[in-house]
Structure 1
Amino acid sequence: METSDRRFNLIQQVALCSAIFLVAFGVHKALAWRETSVLPVPVTRQIPLSGEDKNLARNAWRYFELNRSQTGLVTSAAGFPATTMWDVANQLAGMVAARELGLISLQEFDPWMTQVLATLQKLPLYRNELPNKAYNATTLVPIDYGQPEKRQEVGFSAVELGRLARWLDIVAVRYPQHAAASRAVTSRWKLDRLVKDGQIMAATTASGKEVWQPEGTLGYEQYAAYGLSKLGLKPTQALDVKTQTQLVDVMNVEVPTDKQGTKPNCVVSEPYVLDGLESGFKALPVEYAARLLQAQQHRYLATNQLTAWSETNLDQAPWQVHNCVVADGRPWQTVTPGGEDATAFRGSSTKIAIAWNVLFRNRYTERTYKGMRWLADPQQGVFAGFYEESQQPNRALTLNTNAIVLEALLYNQTAQPIEEWASNSQVVSRSTGGFSLTDEN
């Protein structure tokens, strides 16, 4: 009888284990099906920062501390004296995030912000019209980005000024003590040069001759146009996103691309995640962002490569590449800004990994973020990302990476688009922060 009882108990245990396995397997399959078949959905709940998140924020803020120039401007790349209008906006984003996360006190923040806005009010303008594409951050001399010691007026970028307009508006709304100075920055600009017939415009010069033409492709164009609308401009054609869109199949995901034919027509994550973080997808449809993320999920499942693709700087020549989900109709291309093949330098971006995770937070984004958040030097800042071919860190240290990391963590802390949070004075007390530098937990 005892033998029979033991055999019965063993059968019960085996049956129970089998049932548990089948349930677990079913749950796994259901989650895997959801990852591949259902578009990601943005999260809307506040999620407290973890200890790892806080360390990442401290690492990112270290870049600002080390690369601040005497004018108050932070340089675009570590040890390099230039900055751009896109990176001035990055600096404002990083400073606001650091203030609200408790990385910098109000007593430090206010004088620095005052200095930055005063500096922007006295920048020599391109043809006395608009900010030049790049400046020496120390001397404020207009330059071509690659030649920081030589004075050159090379034109202006509506895309870059659109990002700056967004952040000047956020600063003005969030900090009334800086509102007048923020608005004084743009009061000098010749705004009608930025929009023509509803399109956003850029100017470049060569041999003393100016070329004034529409700027941007799907993604960056709408992102910038929304920012320029903060200045009272009406870039209606640029904001009409659906008339500019054609869908391209990428691993069974219909990814939005620009049908205007501009080359290189490169689809990257950055304008989508920035629009999500800052406006809650008012410039670009959230569905477009979800499709772009889902394509990257599918690539991971097919290749086992963490995929958070976008524009990124490199720690070696050619110094910058665009990791394109689609480029000129072809999926998974890595090219230089001029469109040359740069497959050997393909890789993922730390800033994009954290941004996708705070916006959509699913199993894939968490896996990618956890796999990349260690890419930093606590003494210098957060690295740009990693190279797929070598599986080694891309140790480029830039303002763009470190600012977007801080911006994403601010969004995570508030669970609101940043411009919405900025208008709500009750979200985070101005006299305290989200956490202090001494808080290690």
Structure 2
Amino acid sequence: MAKGIRHSLLKQGLQFLLISGAVAALPVYATLEAPSLSALEQPSPTEEDDSPSFYGSRAVTKSPNQTNTIKIEFQRRSIAPPILPERSKEELVAKEKKTELASKAANNAIENTANDSSAKGNTANDSSAKGNQTKQVLPIASKTIPLTRKELLLASKAKQYIDRNWNKETGLIDSVQGYHHSTMWDVGSAIAAILSLEGIGMIPSREVSSKLSITLDTLENLPLYDDRLPNREYSTVDGLPSGRYSASSSNGNGWSALDVGRLLIWLEITARHKPQFSEQIETIKETWQLADAVNNKTLYGELKSGKRKHYRQEGRLGYLQYAAQGFQLSGYDVSDAYKIRNISPEIIDDELVFIDTRNLPYFTTDPYVLNAIELGRKDEWWDQLDTLFTLQKTKSAQENQLWVFAEDAMSKAPWFSYNNIFIYGRSWVSTSPGGKPVENPQVFSNKVAQGLSVLYPYDDFAKSLHNQVVNNSLSYRSIPTGLYENNAPNAAFNINTNSLVLASLWFKHRNYIPLIVPKNN
């Protein structure tokens, strides 16, 4: 079973690495020299046509603070060189040998248990211990849990963002405060926020139904990219495509399968909580050519660049499996997305993690937290939530400062960053969507910290995360994004932060039961 795969990998891979003292790096980077900052900012123009995939990241929106002179690149294919310190030749040779042996150990474990990888357990609400990771067994009961005064304060602040940035004509919510555009990922977050507000009793059902009706009407009538799928970005004011090529006959510059997958998850959650919308949701899915986003049983996105259209695999470990579930819930075979491939073992602070070996392998906590809260954990081999929780607990102790890494909007250039647990051969690295390093990065994400606090409710570290989120929000009407490394606030108010805080509170109020409900309910 999947649990056996994870256990075997931990036992064989971690045991070998700890005995050998290896701290593995991806072999492809082992012999490369550390680049200068200027080198990182010079993408190769030839990589556009040669790279097998450029969809490591999902679509992101611009910041309202961005000037026209700064070029935003949503899905830049060029990958920055690895960020590695200088090493002697002897160190590189020794490290490469240890990495090779570690990879063999993990691969042997995979091969010995891969036959069981297709076995799917029923939805579980427990966070099983893996290796030395923290075990959290959550209760399952029909009774709801009342929210605390501090939690209700967070909910009221998140509601303020929804109220202020709601567009009554389209039913869409601004992705970032003051920026009237939204991706499909953001639309999913908007629906999540509205349903969560009802779930915790902050708005009545009649108002929720009215809002969702407007949103679904807009989705049903979206001008689709090439008459196939939603464009990467839309205006929240009029529901028309925005961004590059939005005024052309193509209605935009392509689609993000990750974004569509997240939206499909929330359309399914909506249909199960609000069955009166089921028929309209099915109409929306039938209107969209969802099959175009599935190829070789995994997710594919498309990006228009000039006269060319690039159709390639989209999604990396964590993000891929999370978004694929949206297509799976809609009846598509995405089984290849769950196969154990393109991964490499890595040790971070004595914890074994799996790293995606493809380009732009963004590795944040977000998809694991979203999966646990929205869909429930199923002991899948790819679910690294327990490991990431432990790593951030350890890192916080080392830094004497709370660290929670996630993807987030920023209040400064580059306006959006992936704060990676591991990327380019190093741990704890923040990059722009194009792969450039970020100076003075955000090290504490309010949304993911709050999510972790309800997924590990009996853990003291998790409780400290919740308290920090409350403290970070006291001076603001809405919930800000987080804290930078220099402890300055990141006040890029956005839908994803406020939505996940609300969803986490609904998850707790439901007695830690995932937000999706069984079909027979």
Q: Which moved more, 1:202-211 or 1:149-158?
A: 149-158
Q: Does 2:437 match 1:338?
A: no
Corresponding position of 2:72: none
Equivalent position SS for 2:430: strand
Q: Which moved more, 1:75-84 or 1:42-51?
A: 42-51
Say whether the 8 Å CA contact 2:222–2:239 is kept in structure 1.
Answer: yes
Q: Letter of the aligned partner of 1:228 in structure 2?
A: F
CA-CA distance at 1:165 after TM superposition: 0.5
Q: Does 2:309 match 1:210?
A: yes
Which of 166, 181, 201 is the aligned partner of 1:68?
166
CA displacement, residues 298-356 of structure 1 (integer Å, 9 cap, x when unaligned): 11111112011110111122211111110123101011111111131232110000101
Equivalent position SS for 1:293: helix
Q: Which moved more, 1:94-103 or 1:47-56?
A: 47-56
Q: Which moved more, 1:182-191 or 1:90-99?
A: 182-191
How many pairs were matched up?
Answer: 385
Q: Does 2:167 match 1:98?
A: no
Moved over 6 A (4+): 147-151
Supply the RMSD in Å over aligned alpha carbons.
Answer: 2.3
Q: Does 2:295 match 1:196?
A: yes
Specify the structure having the higher radius of gyration (Cα). Answer: 1
Say whether the 8 Å CA contact 1:223–1:283 is kept in structure 2.
Answer: no
Which of 134, 139, 150 is the aligned partner of 1:52?
150
Corresponding position of 1:313: 409
Q: Letter of the aligned partner of 2:400 in structure 1?
A: N
CA-CA distance at 1:36 after TM superposition: 13
Q: How many Å separate the matches in 1 of 2:381 and 2:130?
A: 20
Which of 362, 368, 393 is the aligned partner of 1:297?
393
Change (3 A) 1:190 1:112: same
Say whether the 8 Å CA contact 2:481–2:491 is kept in structure 1.
Answer: yes
Q: Does 2:482 match 1:388?
A: no
CA-CA distance at 1:359 after TM superposition: 0.8
CA-CA distance at 1:208 after TM superposition: 2.7
Say whether the 8 Å CA contact 1:59–1:377 is kept in structure 2.
Answer: no
CA-CA distance at 1:285 after TM superposition: 4.4
CA-CA distance at 1:423 after TM superposition: 5.0
Normalised to the residue count of structure 1, the TM-score between the two structures is 0.83
Q: How many Å separate the matches in 2 of 1:148 and 1:98?
A: 33
Equivalent position SS for 2:206: helix
Q: Letter of the aligned partner of 1:40 in structure 2?
A: T
Q: How many Å separate the matches in 1 of 2:437 and 2:240?
A: 33
Equivalent position SS for 1:333: strand
CA displacement, residues 363-384 of structure 1 (integer Å, 9 cap, x when unaligned): 1111122122232268641100
Say whether the 8 Å CA contact 2:480–2:497 is kept in structure 1.
Answer: yes
| Aligned pairs (5 A) from 1:99-118 | 99-118=198-217
Q: How many Å separate the matches in 2 of 1:300 and 1:393?
A: 18
Equivalent position SS for 2:136: coil
| Aligned pairs (5 A) from 1:23-422 | 38-45=132-139, 47-69=145-167, 70-144=169-243, 153-240=252-339, 242-259=340-357, 261-263=358-360, 265-282=361-378, 284-285=380-381, 288-361=384-457, 362-376=459-473, 380-389=477-486, 391-414=487-510, 415-420=512-517
Q: Letter of the aligned partner of 2:135 in structure 1?
A: V
Q: Letter of the aligned partner of 1:370 in structure 2?
A: N
Normalised to the residue count of structure 2, the TM-score between the two structures is 0.70
Say whether the 8 Å CA contact 1:136–1:148 is kept in structure 2.
Answer: no
Say whether the 8 Å CA contact 1:143–1:154 is kept in structure 2.
Answer: no
Change (3 A) 1:202 1:404: same
Q: How many Å separate the matches in 2 of 1:231 and 1:124?
A: 21
Structure 2, unaligned stretches of length 5 or more? Answer: 1-128
Say whether the 8 Å CA contact 2:246–2:253 is kept in structure 1.
Answer: no
CA-CA distance at 1:286 after TM superposition: 7.7
Q: How many Å separate the matches in 2 of 1:407 and 1:133?
A: 24
Q: How many Å separate the matches in 2 of 1:257 and 1:286?
A: 10
Percentage of pairs with the same residue: 28
Equivalent position SS for 1:200: strand
